[in-house]
Amino acid sequence: MVVDKGLTIHGKSLVEHLEAVNHAAAVDFIRELAVKTKFKDITKNTILEFTALLLRRIDDNMNLKEREQQIITWLNDYHFFRPHQALNYLTPSEYCDTLNITILRRKVSTM
């Protein structure tokens, strides 16, 4: 049924199922890291390993550069266009302006 219909428990898509499974694995990874190193030895490779756990089997065809561009796009949206209730419905950029702090906008590559 899953292969034919692409559905899993409670009608969720296979991607949603994999996201949940991967999230659990990533949380376990962070817990183990906290116990072993108390977060003192976090490196770029640690972050890449964590990200790989989150994205495992979801879209193996997407390369690292495409993922990076998706993240940059999301961060720009989060910081410059999405108001936050905790910031009195200001965007993080607008809130930082009140504190004379600048958030730099990342450029999205056109590849």
- Residue 36, pLDDT above cutoff 90: no
Calpha distance 62→89 (Å, rounded): 34
**Comparing 55 with 77, which gets the higher pLDDT?**
77
As a whole number of angstroms, the distance between CA 19 and CA 57 comes to 9
| 62 against 41, higher pLDDT | 41
> Which residue has better confidence, 38 or 80?
80
Residue 24 is predicted with a pLDDT of: 82
- The closest of 67, 68, 95, 69 to 80, measured between CA atoms, is 95
| Higher pLDDT pick, 92 / 57 | 92
Which residues 6+ apart lie within 8 Å of 7 measured at CB? 1, 13, 14
Per-residue model confidence (pLDDT) at position 4: 45
Instruction: Give the pLDDT band (50/70/90) at residue 7.
Output: low
Statement: residue 111 has pLDDT above 70: no
Question: Angle formed by the axes of helices 44-55 and 14-37, to 10°?
Answer: 150
Confidence class for position 60, pLDDT limits 50, 70, 90: low
Mean pLDDT of 41-66: 72
Q: In this predicted structure, what is the pLDDT of residue 97?
A: 93
pLDDT value at position 29? 82
Task: Give the C-alpha separation, 104 to 90, whole Å.
Answer: 17
